[in-house]
Amino acid sequence: MGNAGRKFPAGVWPAAGLQSRRRQVPDQETSIFMQTFFRHWMEENSSIPDAFRTTQLEMRERFLHPYLRTGFVLVE
């Protein structure tokens, strides 16, 4: 049955094990992070930890300020 139709707390993506930190994350950077993460995970068939790490590295190159790129943690 999966997670279809279930409601989760804001900032939690259970299928991927991602959780936003307890602070506001800018919408544009969140969108870029999630698109990049899911591209690595789903389209490139990376493991979740590898996709997360690769996304972090890409965000670091793109956004110098940590506030714009450190809003997510991987929960395993």
In this predicted structure, what is the pLDDT of residue 72?
80
Can you tell me the distance from the alpha carbon of 41 to that of 23, in angstroms, rounded to the nearest whole number? Answer: 25
- Please, is 10 exposed, middle or buried when counting C-beta atoms within 10 Å of its C-beta (0-12, 13-18, 19+)? exposed
Q: Tokens at residue 67, please?
A: 């506030």
In this predicted structure, what is the pLDDT of residue 74?
83
In this predicted structure, what is the pLDDT of residue 63?
83
Residue ranges, the chain, pLDDT below 50: 1-9, 12
**Helix, strand, coil content of the chain in percent (nearest 5):** 45, 10, 45
Instruction: Specify the pTM.
Output: 0.68
